[in-house]
Structure 1
Amino acid sequence: MDQVFCRWFKTSWTWEGREEGAETRLELEGVTLGRWLDHPLVTTEVRPQDDLLVEWTAWQHGEVTLCVPCAMDAEADCWPFDPLAATFHALTCWDEQAGRVALDEHGRPRSFPEAWLSLKETVRGFGQVMSASQQPRWPWADIMWHAIAGQGLPAQPLVCDWTFDVDVAFKHKGRSRLKSWLLQVRDFGLGRWATVQERFKVNCGWIQDPYDTYDWLLEHHRGEQVTFHVLAATRNRPYDVGLDPAGTALPHMVEALARRPKVVVRWHPGWRALEDPNVAQAEQARLKAWPGMRCDEVRTHFLRGCPGELWRQWVGMGIAVDSSLGWAHDVGFRAGTSRDFMAFDVLDNKVIPLELQPMVAMDEAMRGKLGWSAPEAEQQLTDLLEIVATVGGGWRMCWHNTSVSDTEAWAGWKSTYVGIARKARSKSVG
């Protein structure tokens, strides 16, 4: 309730005469908005590994039709589910913690949870229609609460947060002379003439490094806060392949970016850091010496990490903010909401001091996993943006310095970023 009414709707709430297994009635300014039977998910100290049956049901409220978890048998004048339990189910990524999601080789959800994929109904919201199996693309918990209470509460404006991941800071710059020379020899031998010429011109200062898009990004977002998540992991092919953190180029770049107005530079834990907590601790300890690097705010490389387990690890390491919560194989909202929220430890049954910042889409998921063209991605994001703006949520994407370079596989994607950023900015409070 604190999460929904205090943090999201900026209002207060009170319980009156609540007992386990009882019925809950939601009132706003003396008007009853709805009634439901309490689901065991929120009335007992159950854990995801316990064999608790969570059933799903269709729910229609005004022009909104959703499929929601935590269905309850109820009388005709009660809702067929518990919205508080459904919200808890979403924000804890309950199905993921219960192991009901197929994982890829990086330990990330390969698809939406099995419970969603089995749904056959059609869902509707704000003029859009889709199969319920695709509902995890929507901020469905936001839509649900907007339908329940949004009309009686102050309107919430769209909030934009511009974030970028930096896996490979530069295509050619930042390497030692020996390293650059060896790369030239290799590429010459392989017949990569264009790359050889490009590297030579970059190192001579005749042209800009293709991945050095930082000035363009900051100019495009002049007056707005921009956050960079910088990978600074020890080289570990084929996943951690950025610049050597033991060199000078990467820490100098971090310091230079952090000195720019309204720029935040965060830690981007490497692939191996998510395999071994000792590696994560060593990586964090090294980066604490870098001026400008915020080592208590993260987004994981490849969006790796298991909800619950990783959240507890972060708290133990002093991490205060994690913005890794997004689908790696699709778009949409992994925890059912576009709004920031505090993590909940289902093992100790308490809120923990870690703010989770959901993201709507990662560039590589759209181009690679979904196979969308740049124009198709912009249209899909525009549809999602309309819903997020209607419920007054948050708009946070994961792009890379490389994906706005307009080179190689990312040719044409810079205009997609510009287009969707312009549309989001036009709907936000600035």
Structure 2
Amino acid sequence: MLLVYTHKITPRVKYVFKQICTRILGIPVHFTTTIEEFIAHDSLKMSYTRQPLSNEVFVRSNELLFEQGLSDLDIHVLPWEETKCFFTTGEKSALPFDIFAATFYLISRYEEYLPHVKDEYGRFTAQESLAFKNQFLDQPVVDIWAYKFKAILQDNYPDFKFPKQNYTVKPVIDVPVAYEYKLKGIMRTFGGTTKDLFTFKFRRLYERYSVLMGFKRDPFDTYKYIINKQKSSKFKFVFFFSVGDFSTYDKNINPQKEKFVSLIKHIADYCQVGIKSSFFALTNVELLKEEKNRMEAIINNSIVGSRQSFSKVNLPESYRNLVELEIPEDYTMGYVNHLGFRAGTCTPFLFYDLDFETQTPLKIVPYHALDFAFLKYQSLLDKQEILKKIIRNIKNVNGTFVPVFHNYTFSKHERWKHFKTLFNTILDAKTK
């Protein structure tokens, strides 16, 4: 156990130390404001305050973890060996930066509460982030900092047996539209046919009716391939199906259709299943509740978690709704058009509500690579190179890699050429 002496035990202090020490490094942590208790402790210990007590491991604290609410922070990002950090500490500190305050800033998504420019869907973009502006979006900096802290502890406590963490992968399969042509109903099929005719897409028209007449497999029907991959993989896949009502933004199959229900049940026999919430459920908790109940009735089990439509997160409202409905996990924390680490980490963390200054039970599982983000790289070689770099960075800190692929990513469409190869690269990566 690591004992931390600090002048004030706040919710922020407890939250971030447990993330770094327990969730990333596997070390239990306790806190004290009593000097006598700190001195008597005969195992791992450190002080986190303004001045050291004596010769203990001391990290000079920034005021961020002792504040409440939001303030206009003056952040200067500086190089630190192979990475970058902010909130400098001074000479007496065992670390040149207050990694605990810096970690809190990133995983609480402090910057997403501050004024920023949103994209056309109302999303926080990579370009607005501190990580993008300072060129560390491609690094899980929080985990890198944690391992630098571990090295300090190991130097001071060489006899302590530190737990070993292991690299793992959590593949996500996002299913906004289960089939391209099948089960769409007469009106949608008629509308699609008319559009194909007026836009002279005769090849698509031929494909549409070949599928509807049973001569060809639907292009989005890649489930057999994915299930076979699941059967041979040591990693458990997580599927997110949209079961919301049809709208301008959500165009999936009617969730009452028996064949669609059968598909979800079949997938649930092999993989974990959650909901891809509809666009309007993002701001309507009653609608989200209805979709959650609908999915749980289909799989006859609790959902594993959720992914928000269009990868949109509005803090804190989006996550508060999930907490209210007791949805255990969310897989939306990442960027659609950029590979990397939106929250600066490859370790799941709990949502901290900055308005209420409280840690919630909602686990945020950040994703690091969405299939769309690879499209900017032309060749397979370029795609593999950037993917292997991400995997290498996560392996170096024994983290959890969360890639997001869609069901149609594995189709034969030219746009998604080579994406099966990328998926295999992820699944075949050694865990050691």
Question: Where does residue 370 of structure 2 map in the other structure?
Answer: 362
Q: Which residue of 1 aligns with 2:136?
A: 135
**Alpha carbons of 1:142 and 1:24: their partners in 2 closer, same or farther (altered >3 Å)?**
farther
Question: 2 CA distance for matches of 1:371 and 1:240?
Answer: 28
1:106 match:
121
5+ residue gaps, structure 1, are 119-132
Q: Look up the equivalent residue of 1:94 and give its one-letter code.
A: Y
Corresponding residue number in structure 2 for 1:38: 61
Name the CA shift for 1:308/1:18 in 2 (closer, same or farther; >3 Å).
farther
Number of the residue aligned with 2:390: 384
Q: 1:334 aligns with which of 326, 342, 346?
A: 342
Work out whether residues 21 and 146 of structure 2, in 8 Å CA contact, stay in contact via their aligned partners in 1: no
Distance 1:413 1:223 in 2: 18
Provide the rounded CA distance (Å) in 1 between the counterparts of 2:410 and 2:118: 29
Q: Deviations over 1:37-92 (max 9, x none)?
A: 21111122x223x33x24224253xxx333223334x2355544311111111110
1:10 to 26, 44, 49: 26
Aligned match of 2:267: 257
**Does the aligned pair in 2 maintain the 1:315–1:353 contact within 8 Å?**
yes
Q: Is the 8 A contact 1:57 1:81 kept in 2?
A: no
Q: 1:260-339, aligned counterparts within 5 Å?
A: 261=270, 263-292=271-300, 294-295=302-303, 297-339=305-347
* CA deviation profile, 1:314-357 (whole Å, cap 9, x unmatched): 11122111111111231111111101111112222221110110
Task: Please give the alpha-carbon distance, in whole angstroms, between the structure 1 residues aligned to 2:139 and 2:107.
Answer: 14
- The answer (yes or no) to whether the contact 2:276–2:307 under 8 Å persists in 1 is yes
Residue 341 of structure 2 aligns to which amino acid in structure 1?
A: F
1:395 alignment counterpart? 401
Corresponding position of 1:129: none
Query: Is 1:228 aligned to 2:248, yes or no?
Result: no
How does the TM-score come out when normalised to structure 1? 0.83
AA aligned opposite 1:194? R
Deviation at 1:201, TM superposition (A): 2.1
Give identity over the alignment, percent.
21
CA gap of 1:107–1:217, structure 2 versus 1, over 3 A, is: same
Change (3 A) 1:165 1:365: same
Pairs within 5 Å for 1:144-163: 144-149=145-150, 152=154, 153-163=162-172
Given the alignment of the two structures, is residue 427 of structure 1 paired with residue 431 of structure 2, yes or no? yes
Paired AA for residue 114 in structure 2: A
Paired AA for residue 356 in structure 2: D
Q: What is the CA-CA distance between 1:15 and the residue it aligns to?
A: 3.5
CA–CA distance in structure 2, aligned partners of residues 158 and 346 of structure 1: 30
In structure 1, C-alpha distance between the alignment counterparts of 2:189 and 2:324, rounded to whole Å:
40
Q: Which string of whole-angstrom CA distances, capped at 9 and with x for unpartnered residues, describes residues 133-167 of structure 1?
A: 22022111001111221584333211111111001
The residue number in structure 1 matching 2:254 is: 244
- Gap regions ≥5 residues in structure 2: 1-16, 36-46, 155-161
Alignment coverage as a number of residue pairs: 395
Give the distance between the partners of 1:156 and 1:85, measured in 2 at CA: 23
* Aligned mates of 2:143, 2:177 — CA distance in 1: 35
| Contact kept in structure 2, 1:41 and 1:85, CA below 8 Å | yes
Instruction: Tell me if structure 2 keeps the 8 A contact 1:406–1:412.
Output: no
3-state DSSP class of the match of 2:163? coil
**Residue pairs, 1:162-201, within 5 angstroms:** 162-177=171-186, 179-181=188-190, 183-201=192-210
Helix, strand or coil at the partner of 1:268: strand
Q: Which amino acid aligns with 1:249?
A: K
Q: CA RMSD in A?
A: 2.8
Q: Which moved more, 1:286-295 or 1:346-355?
A: 286-295
What's the TM-score once normalised by structure 2's chain length?
A: 0.83
2-structure distance, mates of 1:26, 1:334: 36
**Paired amino acid for 2:177:** V
Q: 1:306 to 1:327 in 2, by over 3 A?
A: same
